[in-house]
Structure 1
Amino acid sequence: MSSLTGTPLEWIYSVFGVSNDVQLCTKMTNIGLVYTIIVGLYSLLFPAPYGRYASSSFGPTINPKIAWMIQECMAFFCPIMIIIMTAGLQLENFANIVAIFLFTFHYFHRSFIYPFAMSSESKPAPILVALSAATFCVYNGLLQGIHLANVHDVEDSFYVYLGTVVFMIGMAINITHDRMLIALRKKSSGGEGEAKSSSSETEAKQRYKIPRGELFEYVSGANYLGEIIEWIALAFITRGYPQIIFALFSAVFLGIRALHHHRFYKNTFGSSYPQSRKAIIPFILRLSKR
């Protein structure tokens, strides 16, 4: 099946040197696997430069709400575009519809709900980083859309129903703990009458607070844990190569970011930070203070 033939996206076959959807999805996913390894190794040394790690050294910046909306909406619109522009042969299957719905539902929230809830005190996002994230979302959105709409037959089985429940639990965890962090940031930015200090550690203490409650009592990256659960659940539903590699990428990228957050909190708050709290996996993984 060559679903992009005769559409404005037909050029994608030439870019990847393939002639049909199966070859395209396999090649794009293989590239995604290599990308996961490269990003994982880089992220171990240098946290992705957005949020608390944003830096002016990466060039001009833009409002973080706008950046987040622009980059994330790519992963929402690309599958929708594939559904509209192609035959969507696999969309006769209920399970395929469920899988695409879950993927786009996550990114609808990320694109059009989450940005408006963000704190006005969030650090500006480097344009270069936002463009990089948007490129990834376009790439992944096209891959997931083509694969689930035209290539992979997701079996309507117990996996679909159990996986959907787990996905929604993961999304609820992600949203709940993101909102807790946003509320904490707004509370912190309300001003406590403390004088600004030249000490980066003191500034960090003024800008950030220790998150408490719910799963934050167990892990520093509770919001990331929720999203990791989402994509593992989607891979469980489809058992498709692109979804498995995307789940792997999410676990690597967000897991390592949670490690950096854990180290940040321990270095900033020292013994005040709960010593029993782990980085990303409850009761399992914790970094000692450096």
Structure 2
Amino acid sequence: MQWYTGNTTYDTVLTIGFAFAAFVMIGGMFAQSPYGRFTSTKIGLNLNPKLGWWLMELPATVVFAVFYLTGPDPFSPTPLVLAAIWVLHYANRGWFFPLSIRQVPGKTSSFNFSVVAAGVFVTALHGYLNGAFFSHDYLNQYSTAWLTDPRFLLGLVVYLCGFALLVHSESIVRNLRDKNDPGAAEYRIPRGGAFRLVSSPAYLGELIAWAGFALLTWSLAGVVILLITAGNLVPRAFATHRWYREKFADYPTDRKALIPGLI
């Protein structure tokens, strides 16, 4: 299948990525991934959330590094900048976020193993598609001039805005639990920041970040992860909004689920 880069292996994996994105988008209409508040103890093995998140995100770091560093052009300016953006994202998502989770003492099973398995597949796929694409520059688009291209500059601004929203929103949620007494209340209504407007600002930030990433890389690999993320997080945002409204009688009625003022 030489329809994008001309590299048979890469194009085949990219095709698999789009097929999986379609599967996630269709599946998300019928059920939520079993982790966090939507964990089901009826489905297989559940893991400690810190361990589950770390295992799920680990391939994004390892697989990316392998295929990026073994490619022919890992130390050119543009691939290095793109790799730095990748490292920024997964230093937070794959390492800081899992280690910073404040879990209820004694609660060891809130992350379903099926989620870990699916996540490992996605992050390995994601790591390969981007690590190989950056370092091989299959389409000959990543000269130094790319760093001043309007698509890169606009995409970088969009990405950084989304990333900032993601990190800030996750910080608000994390601080709902007292560091010294995380079991005092398992769930509370988050307030402040973008929570004034929507129930899931972290999901919105993640979607904005990956939209910016797709633009700044100008690659189908970026589109794949954006579609997979949307297929998972958009239905989950609506389910989370319903969950909050059902659980808390005083939940703010003017908050939307995902997009301020709209839905």
TM range (shorter): 0.7 to 0.9
Unaligned 5+ residue runs, structure 1? 1-15, 192-205, 286-290
Q: Deviations over 1:133-166 (max 9, x none)?
A: 1122111111111122212423331322332232
- Give runs of aligned pairs for residues 96-111 of structure 1, distance below 5 A: 96-111=79-94
Corresponding position of 2:125: 139
Check the 8 A contact 1:25/1:242 in 2, yes or no. no
For 2:6 and 2:39, the matched residues in 1 are separated by 38
In the alignment, structure 1 residue 125 sits paired with structure 2 residue 104? no
Q: Deviations over 1:192-218 (max 9, x none)?
A: xxxxxxxxxxxxxx6321111110111
User: Which secondary structure state, in structure 2, belongs to the residue aligned with residue 146 of structure 1?
Assistant: helix
- Give runs of aligned pairs for residues 1-290 of structure 1, distance below 5 A: 22-88=7-73, 92=76, 94-121=77-104, 124-150=110-136, 151-152=138-139, 153-154=141-142, 155-156=146-147, 157-186=149-178, 189-191=182-184, 207-270=186-249, 272-285=250-263
Q: Which amino acid aligns with 1:171?
A: F
For 1:49 and 1:62, the matched residues in 2 are separated by 11
Unaligned 5+ residue runs, structure 2? none
Corresponding position of 1:8: none
Change (3 A) 1:210 1:176: same
State percent identity of aligned pairs: 26
Q: Which amino acid aligns with 2:152?
A: V
Higher relative contact order (CA 8 A, sep 6+): 2
Check the 8 A contact 1:163/1:237 in 2, yes or no. yes
Change (3 A) 1:243 1:42: same
Change (3 A) 1:162 1:95: farther
Q: Deviations over 1:212-269 (max 9, x none)?
A: 1110111111001111111111111122111122222222321221111111111222
Aligned length: 252
User: Which secondary structure state, in structure 1, belongs to the residue aligned with residue 260 of structure 2?
Assistant: coil
For 1:100 and 1:37, the matched residues in 2 are separated by 27
Q: Deviations over 1:106-140 (max 9, x none)?
A: 11211221112101227532223212211221111
Q: What TM-score, normalized by structure 2, do the two folds share? A: 0.86
The CA RMSD measured in Å over matched residues stands at: 2.4
Q: Which amino acid aligns with 1:165?
A: V
Q: Deviations over 1:144-192 (max 9, x none)?
A: 111222124233313223322321221111111111111114489443x
For 1:260 and 1:97, the matched residues in 2 are separated by 39
